[in-house]
A and B are shown apart, each in its own frame.
Chain A
């Protein structure tokens, strides 16, 4: 089988797909085969960047998110980046020829402001980051429009694009060239729009807002178009994917654009006194945001302390809650819940068994059936878990996640939050696919079949399908012969049917003690 035949038959588009397929079909463990496949890919790709075995090792797996800076480049994307730089330089020359006088102090002030604002991003509820840098670029457009100096905003953006120190450190010259060129071009586009209107418009609020909005739209269009092209050339990423990533940020762009235009107007009329007044709340917001991130880390430590406490009590339970949290997050993401809800779901899943802290150790792992009194004592942990979750405001809406009563599917109650159902399905799935002292882990297919069979009665059917889809997307297999944790049992657990894990043979006990 020759490499050209392989490529043609598969109709592959990207080098990464070819390499990953080669890893599977040729010999996953053979370093030499992978290297051969990389060389093959190089013959069949136009403008393909040189690929070494080391580069292959550095490629992220399909199941890891790419850090933008770590995306591999192709020759095409590099060439395009330098082309953009050339375009930007040309625009600078044209702008300079049309500028009679340039206020250098304004250039310095706005460059500093943008540099400060860009490092003062805050995260909004949807998970997207917002910074004031776009707002300040537009402010500079207004300021230099009044002075008829079109080159001003382009210089400011060029310097801002060049300030990304990581590119300098890692000698990513093409990325640096792209940032500088793109900055010049999108500032140039915004400047062209501003110059299309008479300078008198800058003194009227309504018309000033119009200039701001149109200039922002022009800048955004140029920005997104150039990014889409370079992403496509680099690794075949579709423009629609880029648009999906930036869509949440779009609603914030326009208000900030209008604000930027007004800041520019105020700067023109009042002077640089507004600079500290503007920067202070932005810096405060950033500092507070950084503090909240630190506190979030401390909160995570508190939850890890809980897991340590559970581990000290019963190692299975500690691993169990972590796995349930992972599956719950998968389901939440599959169901497109917002970042805040997914975080609440994760915490609720980690803490849903907090009540087990008070269950005597000898009952937690009892291999045989529980007596009625023991069952009642063990079941008390659910009430305690709910009580504790309700005492946390953030988790109170999903406190029923800790109760087997409230997590059973109730199709007639439309107001029932979905999170308890999610935790219930994740809990049941992990219970079936983990080995306990009294039962070996079931195969994943059996667990899926059980969940689907009880979907609509015990489990929420949509949640069940979401879990299955999420695991399939991630190519994860759990259960018998796929367990990641291995306990040494003095007496190997038997292979039996489904049953609740961690609480003894509760199915039989439940029936005996209705």
Chain B
């Protein structure tokens, strides 16, 4: 077990032990509830459900839901703020003070919206049955902080997170928060378990956290492995340093501009990182790689990638870069690629050539794009060039039309 996971297990055991001691010492008083739920918020801040393309969701959101039932407004604010301050102090050293402060403020806003949603919903449904009122209030309290957590970073990047995909974390948090709250105080006066409820019913949520954590480790390892593979030719001098990363970023931006799907963007990104892997097969010294050898490089890269089923689609994209957008004189290309693959190949070709022409220097970007526009019409897809121009405009590079 990794040290981090061992720490998590120890913290959970400590929480269970604290609960037991608190129940024994002062079962009727409030301070055990303050301590246990406060500790739950601290632990929840250190554990996050990380989904791709979204802000990480802390497990403390589930504890907020329990706290809306356990405390009145003043107690809720006091416990949450105190626990969040402790959690900020316990964050890893690599997080600087300013970021901790921002995170503290963000979390307090999210906690406040949780409380507000619970109270407002309960008031609004006061005339319905107690069971319906409670369940809807708990659901609202669980959902609202997640929405706020999505909206805040979306305002910064001016892009909404995916609506449907990657919502498993939300479901796990909402249902667990509700279950923990019901376990704490029961429903219709029945089933109250006190502090044992939140402690024990957090176990399914921790199982979900473990799965997400494992997925995050595997995803990072995969990403870094691909980047390491792509960096090998660069470190050997066969391509400019950072070429693969720059091309990958540009491909993703162009792909977004052209409404490629998430899956297509991911395949395109991997293709961009590995498109010059075949350079390792060249026998000459790196600085003497000739122009026509880059076709062989792309073909070799495509062959290596196509050897595995999972990366074969990536290999097709890389292999497609050896073909021009159209052949001169002949109306069709023999053995054409599927349209979407051909488009991805074109995007990769455009991004790679642009990076080679501009030498990653901003000052040369406009000139490089002008050169590509001025080239033979059959070489590049005009739609892709147009998308590249839009991307460069967002970066502040303007093409001067001659």
Contacts and interface: CB of A to CB of B under 8 A. Distances in A.
Q: Does A pair with B? A: yes
Chain B, interface SS category:
helix
Given A299-B221, A361-B283, A309 B277 contact: yes
Q: Give the one of B1, B5, B172 with max A CB within 10 A.
A: B172
Given A125-B5, A358-B238, A273 B187 contact: yes
A442 B168 CA distance: 56
Interface in A360-406: 360-362, 384, 387-389, 391-395
B173 to A, nearest CB: 8
A295 B218 contact: yes
A301 B300 CA distance: 16
B191 A281 contact: no
19 contacts: A122-B211, A124-B210, A205-B196, A259-B200, A259-B203, A269-B186, A276-B175, A277-B182, A278-B204, A281-B207, A285-B204, A288-B215, A292-B218, A299-B222, A309-B229, A309-B277, A354-B228, A354-B229, A358-B237
Interface residues of A, number: 68
B1 A125 contact: yes
A172 interface: no
Interface string B341-372: 00000000000000000000000000000000
Given A281-B204, A357-B236, A312 B311 contact: no
B176 interface: yes
A384 B224 contact: no
B201 interface: yes
A266 interface: yes
Q: Which of A271, A281, A282, A309 has the most CB of B within 10 A?
A: A281
A291 B179 contact: no
B281 A312 contact: yes
B242 interface: no
Contacts of B283: 360-362
Closest 5 pairs (CB-CB, A-B): A358-B236, A269-B191, A301-B308, A280-B175, A269-B190
A205 B188 CA distance: 19
Among B201, B211, B283, B309, max chain A CB count under 10 A is at: B211
A357 B203 contact: no
A292 to B, nearest CB: 4
B196 A358 contact: no
Contact of A392 (B210, B214, B228): B228
Nearest to A276: B175
B187 A270 contact: yes
Contact of A393 (B171, B188, B197, B221): B221
A282 B204 contact: yes
B138 to A, nearest CB: 10
Interface in B207-257: 207-208, 210-212, 214-215, 217-222, 224-229, 231-233, 235-238
Interface of A: 122, 124-126, 132, 205, 209, 255-256, 258-259, 262, 265-266, 268-271, 273-274, 276-278, 280-282, 284-289, 291-292, 295-299, 301-306, 308-309, 312-313, 338, 340, 351, 354-355, 357-358, 360-362, 384, 387-389, 391-395
Interface residues of B, number: 71
A388 B232 contact: yes
A313 B303 CA distance: 13
Contact of B235 (A288, A312, A387, A394): A387
B191 A265 contact: yes
Most buried by A among B172, B228, B277: B228
A286 B193 CA distance: 28
B236 A281 contact: no
A392 B218 CA distance: 11
Contacts of A274: 179, 182
